[in-house]
Amino acid sequence: MTKMKKEDIEGLGPVSTHSQNGQVLEDPNSSYDAVFGEIKEGGPNYRNVGWKGTVALMMKTQIGLGVLSIPNVFDVLGIVPGVIALIGIAAITTWSDYIVGVFKLRHPEVYGIDDVGRLLFGRVGREFFGIVFCLYWIFVAGSGMLGASIALNAVSMHGACTAVFVAVAALIGFGFGSIQTLGKITWFAWIGLICILSSIFAVTVAVGVQDRPAAAPQEGHWTSDYKIIGSPTFAEASSALSTLVFAFAGTPAFFSIVSEMRDPRHYTRALIICQSGVTATYIAIG
């Protein structure tokens, strides 16, 4: 058997950044990705999200629709059981999110949860996981559009109906959803994260420093009815726990985020920062 010449080896071109055992190798000249194929110069760069941008995308995905329901959860369960349940669910979801990164490194061809279904159950699994994934985000997007319409109704003196504001929110969402890569919207994730954090902390501080809630009697003696340990019914406790799960339910989007990272090995670092910040925020708000 003759030895391969140096020219023949160089003629093979760049190799993938992923080895067969899933370890990411240092190869800055690589132009091939297991998901996106050959990435040509001048084309869209699908691997352009740094770990800081990953933190912003993940936190904005987590801190969304469920954040304002946390105080009600603590009111139902009580402060101590509420904090324990919150930390427990945070730990479970953090482990699940960590496995997303491990799975991606071992299976670099995976981009979304539908690809996971294909690896586990074949074509049927891919179709089922894909349909469930789409339905999940359709309902999440619908809830977000409804919330945006309520906000626009509250701050606007215009007499437009809620359906018009829902259409406006849908058009804005469609516009940002048409952006081809996540690397181009990390700046928007930072803006959204700063806006929502400043808003909820402003509300939290305002509620904390006021003498009494607006719904409480404005004259005479008044005491807070907060509960250290609540006594909810089974239905109330189940609803409260479901709210906590929904508050950490951004996991399905993490497959796409880690797939567009420059270095997926930094995913765990971003995840720890994200989950720590989200959990601390929820406890402070609750």
Digit-coded pLDDT (tens) for 89-108:
999 999 999 999 999 999 98
- The count of other CB atoms within 10 Å of the CB of residue 125 is 16
The β-bridge partners of 261 are 49
Largest CA distance in the chain: 98
Query: From the centroid of its chain, how far is CA 206?
Result: 27
The mean of the pLDDT values for the chain is: 81
**Domain range summary for the chain, segments of one domain joined by +:** 49-208+227-285
User: Is the pTM higher than 0.85?
Assistant: no
**Measured distance between the N- and C-terminal CA atoms of the chain, rounded to whole angstroms:** 71
Answer whether residue 15 shows pLDDT above 90.
Answer: no
CA dist 122 → 127, 130, 131, 247 (Å): 9, 12, 14, 31
Residue 282 pLDDT: 92
Answer whether residue 61 shows pLDDT above 80.
Answer: yes
Specify burial of residue 190 (Cβ count, 10 A radius: 0-12, 13-18, 19+): middle
Contacts of 155 (CB under 8 A, 6+ apart): none
Question: Quick one: CA torsion of 84, 87, 91, 97, rounded to 10 degrees?
Answer: 140
Rounded to whole angstroms, the Cα distance separating 43 from 162 reads 40
